[in-house]
Amino acid sequence: MSQSDDLLLCPITLELFKDPVLAQDGHTYERQAIVEWIQKKGRSPITDQPLSLEHLYPNHAIKKAVDHFENTMKSKKYQYVLGVDVKKKAGRPLFQSFGKTIFYAEWLPTKKNRPEIILLKIDGARSKKEASFYVDLSRHPHIVRTYGIVHEENDDEDDENNAVMLLQEHAPMGSLYDVLQERRKAPNENILIEIFLQILDAMIFLAFNNVVHADLACRNVLVFRLDENDPENIIVKITDFGLSRHSQLYSLAPSAKKTILNIIPTRYVAPEILSVNTTPDDYTEKSDVFSMGVLIWEAYSRCAIPWAKITDDNDVARRVVNGERLLKPKHCSESYWSIICKTWSKSPKDRPTFAELRRFLTQQYYETTPQPFNIENNTNFYESYNTTKQEYQGATSGNNYSTQLDTNDEIMHNPTNTSIDIVIKNCKMRNLANSRDNCVLLTTGSFNPVHPLHFQNLVRVRDFLENEHQPRWNVLAGYISPTHDSYVHSKLGDPAWIPAKDRCRLCEEAIQHEGPGLSSWIAVSRGECEWEDGFIDFDAVTENFRDFLNSTLVGAGTLFKYPLRVVYVCGLDHYNKCSHVENIEKQKNMSSAIVYRTGCNEQQISRSSKTSGIIYIPLIKERSKLVDVSSAEIRQYFQNPGGNKTNIDR
């Protein structure tokens, strides 16, 4: 890895600094990025000399320069004048096609302490949004950064050749199309999968913000770094999204003579886009998913033209609409090909979402790629303290049944249904790898549907454990675990119950809706609701969750030195009705946190008040502005709008 030419960019992430620190090698890095690097590799990414976390110092000069740059952009409202704030470099354009031109550009009056930039000119288009919208939409590690909108010095709104000019960061390696075309053979499959996962991260973000790309292809993926020896060093970013006739971001300029917005990339789009009766409603996340499948095919094929043997685009359109699909590329394995084919289902509803597609690829990657840490060969890994099979009582279809869960042999939770990224990220940010007091919260339930009180309980428990509990515990993450369909359906019946897939999605969207205050440490675990053996009670779920975290993250060669404690979170009414809570506090590295409202049923806190494994946490101010509304009341409200809805209204 080499030092970035842009002093304001971290050489690891290639993003603008937020918290720059100076390391022993004399180079400056983003704090979180270099901490993770040192934790994993221990040596400088630039000089290869040994580095330590103890010798990272804030770089105030770089921080001041970045803040000045950001404040200057904000003061201009992210709008610039050509020839005054920026200029085109002399010479030919970097890229030019029908309706789109890219120019090398420079900052004015000086480019000192400014990132390298280009001007993207889109002919015959006008922006629908404020400049700040385009800037904020690009604040993602895998979306090309937009610094603002550029206007001609004498901009004429009535000019029939009106165009939008975006000021964007420069990608030194060009497009993925250029990079792959120059190669004699396709990269290794693990390199391509890393690229696809980064693109999917960006598309998940766009889909969450209701933005349709409409032209996903390798030419619209820019390469910032390609490291074939270490896929984790690869950085790609998507660009040119929203350029379509039905764009949410741009509109056609009056009397536009040429514009890319009218062009349909026939060989890449979904069949519903090729229909003669296409409407704006046909441009969806699922139409982008279809194009993502073509992009993946294209990358495997070293950017060969899709349907290259067919010269007529109309013939291609007829074939796609009739259900014909591209053939498997030579270097694509069968396991990944079966996933790609899911993106090409004729009906949009049968295609996966971007989040689901990312999960499919990740799961296949874990199954086929050797991992650096092998639990079975490591004598220091965390051992489950419950090594015997135990029976747990559950309910399905209204009947009790017993299921055996061997915590040594069967792992309900795994990296594909329970992301541990939040745990790792927060541990490294807070430098807690060697702490004995780390814990993770877990709460289970139907979440049919989810509402703010579910989150509030986790927040209250976190605050209590980190500030009031003795000893103070470090809460690294909180997980919501929706219950298995068999139990929820048997309890609620039709039409009240919501399938697990949708309950998980609603929980994930609710977390994102609440913002970084929650999304930075709360996530959804799908392990319980996707367990193939059916419903398992929450004490077994919690125990299995503990074993998954510790067998994955604790021990020599991993992140944590000491076992993680899992704290099961529930309300007082749940605790008083379920003896399973007592099973939890009897286990090693497991506790229960019982939240209750002061002045409400406190007399019921008696059964295990002297048990150290159970922590009682009062809710005082937290609910002063909220009314207790149960999931049942919410369901009844929508099922019977004319009924009693006092609490809902409040």
- CATH 3.40.50.620 applies to domain 393-624: yes
- Between strands 100-107 and 20-22, the pairing is unpaired
- Reply yes or no on whether the pLDDT at 599 is more than 70: no
Q: Is the peptide bond preceding residue 141 cis, with omega within 30 degrees of 0?
A: no
Q: Which residues are within 8 A (CB) of 150 and not within 5 positions of it... i.e. 6 or more apart?
A: 79, 80, 81, 82, 85, 86, 119, 165, 166, 167
- Reply yes or no on whether the pLDDT at 609 is more than 50: no
Domain ranges of the chain: 1-75, 79-170, 176-246+262-368, 393-624
Mean pLDDT, residues 525-539: 85
Mean pLDDT, residues 351-361: 89
What CATH number matches the domain at 1-75, 3.30.40.10, 3.20.190.10, 3.30.70.100, 3.30.230.10?
3.30.40.10
- Reply yes or no on whether the pLDDT at 145 is more than 90: yes
**Collapsed DSSP state (helix, strand, coil) of residue 45:** coil
Give the pLDDT score at 392: 27
- CATH 1.10.1060.10 applies to domain 176-246+262-368: no
Please name which of 280, 294, 271 lies closest in space to residue 242, comparing C-alpha atoms.
280
pLDDT, tens digit (0-9, with 9 covering 90-100), for 500-528: 888 898 888 888 888 777 888 999 999 88
- Between strands 100-107 and 95-97, the pairing is antiparallel
Please name which of 523, 431, 517 lies closest in space to residue 474, comparing C-alpha atoms.
431
pLDDT, tens digit (0-9, with 9 covering 90-100), for 254-301: 766 667 777 889 999 999 999 888 888 999 999 999 999 999 999 999
Token readout for 426 is: 């927060």
Please name which of 408, 1, 511 lies closest in space to residue 233, comparing C-alpha atoms.
1
- Its pTM stands at 0.62
Confidence label for 393 from pLDDT (cuts 50, 70 and 90): very low
Q: Which of 264-273, 491-500, 594-603 has the lowest mean pLDDT?
A: 594-603
CATH code for the part of the protein at 79-170: 3.30.200.20
- Reply yes or no on whether the pLDDT at 622 is more than 60: no
To the nearest whole number, what is the mean pLDDT of the chain? 81
* Main-chain dihedrals φ then ψ at residue 394, nearest 5 degrees: -140, -170
Please name which of 371, 414, 382, 373 lies closest in space to residue 550, comparing C-alpha atoms.
382
DSSP state letters, 82-139: BTTTEEEPSSS-SEEETTEEEEEEEESS--TT---EEEEEEETEEESS-HHHHHHHT-
Provide the greatest CA pair distance for the chain. Answer: 81
Q: Does residue 613 contact residue 592 with C-beta atoms inside 8 Å?
A: yes
Token readout for 600 is: 């409400």
- Reply yes or no on whether the pLDDT at 324 is more than 60: yes
CB atoms within 10 A of CB 395: 14
DSSP code at position 163? E
Confidence label for 390 from pLDDT (cuts 50, 70 and 90): very low
Beta bridge partners of 596: 618
Confidence label for 405 from pLDDT (cuts 50, 70 and 90): very low
Element (DSSP H or E) covering residue 67: helix 60-75
Token readout for 432 is: 């807690």
Mean pLDDT, residues 611-633: 60
Give the pLDDT score at 627: 52
Q: Which of 440-444, 557-561, 564-568, 625-629 has the lowest mean pLDDT?
A: 625-629
